[in-house]
């Protein structure tokens, strides 16, 4: 997408996760620094933003906003093209067919995937899977150890998530000294634990710091954090990743699942003022 001030680039969450610095390279080999717009670790999606003022006019003339297709109309046997940065050597293009349209894959909890025999190698993650009309119908996300089995996130299934990520405020990291803290101790609720104990996936609050921001906001021990400022929180790593963008004193909206007497969880969103690590 493109706004008055930014170019928006779609990729995988695992491509940008844990980054110190993001750089986007264009077709004319011009490179520009980028910042995270929004991420969703569960669906392995991310949107990054580049300031248009940082992009040369000559580069703008060479690029265009991609046209989105309808992945729900894909049929097995249809021709597709995968674009990426295979093994980090530079832009690569491979072609193949759609092998299946609703595959499930161990380790990916975001839904079903498109399977293709177009070569999708490490480095292609976050690249576009295109139909024969040049429309984006998937986001390359995984490869199998078996040759001829690559996977992509269907663009139609991801459209609502992508729109949400595009609408978020562009994030810039703050220094560790300035970073704000929730004031909780947490434990990961993995997919396996969630199924076993009938709990939501996220961060289980094992303790709340006395007089900290979490306690003052009404967060309680036993609740599960599932979101921060509209971004899905799946574990402590994703929570820490998001908190890198907020300072002491910033107000953030925390989404939690609160347990009831009958074992069911109720979603609640609270606004918390972040405190310091001390």
The 3-state secondary structure of the chain reads: CECCCEEEEEECHHHHCCCCCEEEECCCCCEEEEEEEEEECCCCEEEEEEEHHHCCHHHHHHCCCCCECCHHHCCCCCEEEEEECHHHCCCEEEEEEEEEEEECCCCCCCCCEEEECCCCCCCCCCCEEECCCCCEEEEEEEECCCCCCEEEEEHHHHHHHHHHHHCCCCCCCCCCCCECECCEEEEEECHHHHHHHCCCCEEEEEEECCCCHHHHHCCCCCCEEEEECCEECCCHHHHHHHHCCCECCCEEEEEEEEECCCCCEEEEEEEEECECCC
Q: Are 103 and 115 in contact (CB under 8 A)?
A: yes
| Catalytically active residues, by annotation | 14, 44, 125
Distance, in Å, from the CA atom of 36 to the CA atom of 33, rounded to the nearest integer, reads 11
Q: Are 267 and 173 in contact (CB under 8 A)?
A: no
Distance, in Å, from the CA atom of 19 to the CA atom of 81, rounded to the nearest integer, reads 28
Residue tagged 């939690």 (tokens): 256
For 276, the token pair is 């310091």
């Amino acid at each position: 997408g493109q706004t008055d001030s930014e170019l928006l680039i779609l990729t995988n969450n695992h491509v940008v996760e844990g980054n110190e610095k993001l750089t986007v390279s264009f077709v004319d080999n011009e490179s520009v620094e980028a910042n995270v717009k929004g991420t969703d670790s569960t669906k392995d999606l991310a949107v990054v933003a580049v300031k248009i003022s940082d992009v040369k006019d000559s580069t703008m003339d060479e690029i265009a906003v991609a046209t989105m297709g309808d992945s729900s109309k894909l049929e097995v046997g249809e021709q597709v093209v995968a674009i990426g940065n295979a093994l980090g050597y530079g832009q690569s293009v491979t072609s193949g067919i759609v092998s299946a349209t609703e595959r499930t894959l161990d380790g990916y909890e975001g839904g079903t995937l498109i399977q293709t025999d177009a070569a999708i190698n490490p480095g292609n993650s976050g690249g576009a899977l295109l139909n024969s009309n040049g429309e984006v119908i998937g986001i390359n996300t995984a490869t199998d150890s078996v040759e001829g089995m690559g996977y992509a996130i269907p663009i139609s299934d991801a459209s609502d998530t992508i729109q949400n990520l595009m609408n978020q405020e562009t994030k810039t990291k703050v220094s560790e000294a300035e970073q704000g803290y929730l004031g909780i101790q947490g434990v990961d609720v993995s997919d396996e634990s969630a199924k076993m104990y009938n709990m939501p996936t996220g961060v289980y609050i094992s303790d709340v710091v006395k007089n900290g921001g979490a306690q003052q906001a009404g967060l309680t021990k036993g609740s599960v954090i599932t979101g921060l400022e509209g971004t899905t929180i799946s574990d402590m790593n994703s929570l820490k990743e998001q908190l890198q963008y907020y300072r002491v004193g910033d107000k953030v909206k925390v989404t939690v699942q609160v347990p009831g007497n009958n074992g069911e969880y109720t979603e609640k969103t609270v606004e918390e003022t972040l405190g310091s690590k001390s």
